[in-house]
Amino acid sequence: MVHLLAKNRQFKAACQLLEKFAVKDLVSSPSVLGALLASYIDRDSNSQILSWLVIICARSKMIHDALEVFRQMKDSGLRPDQHACNALLSLLAKSRLTATAWKVFDEMLQIGVAPNTHVFNAMLHVCFKSGDVDKADKLVSRMDSKGVPLDLFSYNTLISLFCKKGMHYEALATQERMEREGIHPDVVTYNSLINGFCKEGRMRDAFRLFKEIKGVEPNHVTYTTLIDGYCRVNGLDEALRLREEMEAKGLYPGVATYNSIIRKLCEEGKMKAVNGLLNEMDERKVQPDNITCNTLINAYCKRGNMGFAWKLRNKMLESGLPLDQFTYKALIHGFCKAQELDEAKEVLFNMLDAGFSPNYSTYSWIVDGYCNQNKADAVLSLPEELIRRGLLVDKSVYRALIRRLCKRGLVDYAQKILIQMHGKGLLGDSLVYATLAFAYLSAGKPIASSEALDEMAKKKLVITARIYSCLSASYANENDMLELLWNHASEKGLIAKNVYKLMQQSGLNFCSYV
């Protein structure tokens, strides 16, 4: 039926019938594909119909089905058209399946599909998603050699990629090339360039470019980008002036604009001005989002006003805004600073229950809170409390507690956590043993330090570049003790080869480690 409709040029009806296959999840069924291929011997008709099917699947975000149809076409010696290839590659780019996109692109070339501007644009978008400048340059060279013209989308994608990588010279050179080719920059072009400068705090360059905009009108994104940039470099007055200019042009701030200004006002402790902006948002029906609420919660927590922070947390939930890891971390930090450790611990439980993984800093705040109250024993009971709550306690929890206890010089408590860890069938890793070895050395217990290093050797663990950098940063003021640790570790063959170069760059005597 599909073939007959296509043969009679009733393309819309043919596509609607194909869409019914897609809705019923029959597209990638071997029997359905086989029937479509076998029911008509006209190769051109088969190619056209299966190309439509790829497009339909791609538009419906049915990645597996779109790929299956594409591969069936390839295996059957049929060539998908450029529209189908563009649709599939665009879907893969949006889904960040960059490796798959390159594989499909290579297969397209192998079966004789000649990429047009739109197909190349899809691949440039893949390069943007993966941050791959070299591959983008090669694509442009290929377009030039094949006589495939770049369009506005091509240039904007390249400029966005260069700005993302901090390559401003290349971004501006691309703008110059597009103008030489007779393609005028649009507001997206200027926004990308301005954003690139703002991200690096180069506000003079960003504002100069803003003043040079010609042929297009700055939009919400332009002004919000500049306002955010000025707020990040302590240019609140200029940010507020731009906000007035924005409104004078009939462009009223959205939630992103308000968030930038509110963040800066909170940093400066100007909570009265913040409340004024919140009232203004309410009057203008601009709904606060997670960023707004997290900024305010963080500000109240830093000021020790946990009552306001908790009320705001409740309002978030009432408004249907989900708490994220930033909300939980701000509240935990705030309660720890306020010495309300039971509340901090409860928020930690909630955070874990919600599926978020606290990092080293989060556990450090709780360890510090208990230690400041001379309640280090409470830290020892924390893993068991988490387990009783039905929460997963993995190696990262024990590792964080061990590291922080060692940092505070409580190496005996850290050793007890390690024993608990082993009791649960979890083995210490390189970072755990290296941290314990350093802590014992600092505590004047060289034998215990040596034993920790021996455990590393038994388990065939080594000090990697990441662990070397981590310990060097954590104990930056104890270089002599660190050098002693590296000596001991080197004698036992526990230093990875690529770490010696890092040691040399740090000014350590390289020869003594070889």
Query: What is the per-residue pLDDT across 122-155, written as a single tens digit (0 to 9) for each?
Result: 999 999 999 999 999 999 999 999 999 999 999 9
Q: Is residue 33 part of a domain?
A: no
Closest Cα partner for 363 from 377, 349, 353, 373?
349
Exposure class string for 170-202: b at 16+ Cβ within 10 A, else e: bbbebbeebeeeebebebbbbbbbbbbbbbeeb
Q: Is residue 365 part of a domain?
A: yes
pLDDT on residue 133: 97
pLDDT on residue 375: 94
Q: In three state form, how does the secondary structure of 437-482 look?
A: HHHHHHCCCHHHHHHHHHHHHHCCCCECHHHHHHHHHHCCCCHHHH
For residue 274, give every residue at least 6 positions away whose Cβ sits within 8 Å of its Cβ, in sequence order, or none. Answer: 262, 265, 266, 296, 299
Exposure class string for 140-161: b at 16+ Cβ within 10 A, else e: beebeeeebebeebbbbbbbbb
- Shared domain for 467 and 506, answered yes or no, is yes
Q: Is residue 337 part of a domain?
A: no
Tell which of 428, 445, 471 closes a domain.
428
- Shared domain for 418 and 434, answered yes or no, is no
- Shared domain for 460 and 510, answered yes or no, is yes
Of the CA atoms within 13 Å of residue 66, those in its CB half-sphere come to 24
pLDDT on residue 43: 52
Q: Is residue 130 part of a domain?
A: no
Q: Is residue 135 part of a domain?
A: no
Tell which of 428, 452, 481 closes a domain.
428
- Shared domain for 497 and 447, answered yes or no, is yes
Q: Are the CB atoms for 341 and 335 separated by under 8 Å?
A: yes
Q: Is residue 512 part of a domain?
A: yes
DSSP letter string over 326-381?
HHHHHHHHHHHHTT-HHHHHHHHHHHHHTT----HHHHHHHHHHHHHTT-HHHHHH
Tell which of 377, 397, 428 closes a domain.
428
Which helix (H) or strand (E) segment holds residue 273: the answer is helix 271-283
- Shared domain for 411 and 472, answered yes or no, is no
Q: Are the CB atoms for 462 and 495 separated by under 8 Å?
A: yes
Q: Is residue 186 part of a domain?
A: no
pLDDT on residue 154: 97
- Shared domain for 452 and 406, answered yes or no, is no
- Shared domain for 415 and 435, answered yes or no, is no
Q: Helix or strand or coil: residue 495?
A: strand
Q: Which domain holds residue 408?
A: 357-428
Instruction: Provide the 10 A C-beta neighbour count for residue 136.
Output: 23
Q: Are the CB atoms for 267 and 235 separated by under 8 Å?
A: no
Exposure class string for 16-38: b at 16+ Cβ within 10 A, else e: ebbbebbeeeebbeeeebeebbe
Q: Are the CB atoms for 397 and 380 separated by under 8 Å?
A: no
Q: Are the CB atoms for 171 and 162 separated by under 8 Å?
A: yes
Q: Is residue 406 part of a domain?
A: yes
Please report the sign of the dihedral spanned by the C-alpha atoms of residue 198, residue 202, residue 206, residue 211. Answer: positive
Structurally, how many domains does the chain consist of? 2
- Shared domain for 434 and 512, answered yes or no, is yes
Phi-psi label, residue 405: left if phi above 0, alpha if psi -120 to 50, beta otherwise: alpha
The span from the CA of 86 to the CA of 81, in Å, is 9
Closest Cα partner for 262 from 284, 243, 285?
243
pLDDT on residue 306: 97
pLDDT on residue 308: 95
Strand runs labelled E in 223-279: none
- Shared domain for 462 and 406, answered yes or no, is no
- Shared domain for 414 and 435, answered yes or no, is no
- Shared domain for 492 and 456, answered yes or no, is yes
- Shared domain for 450 and 482, answered yes or no, is yes
Per-residue pLDDT tens, the chain, 514 aa: give them.
444 433 444 434 444 544 555 444 444 444 455 555 555 455 555 677 778 788 888 888 889 888 988 988 888 888 899 999 999 999 999 999 999 999 999 999 999 999 999 999 999 999 999 999 999 999 999 999 999 999 999 999 999 999 999 999 999 999 999 999 999 999 999 999 999 999 999 999 999 999 999 889 999 999 999 999 999 999 999 999 999 999 999 999 999 999 999 999 999 999 999 999 999 999 999 999 999 999 999 999 999 999 999 999 999 999 999 999 999 999 999 999 999 999 999 999 999 999 999 999 999 999 999 999 999 999 999 999 999 999 889 999 999 999 999 999 999 999 999 999 999 999 999 999 999 999 999 999 999 999 999 999 999 999 999 999 999 999 989 989 999 999 999 999 999 988 988 888 777 654 444 4
How long is the chain?
A: 514
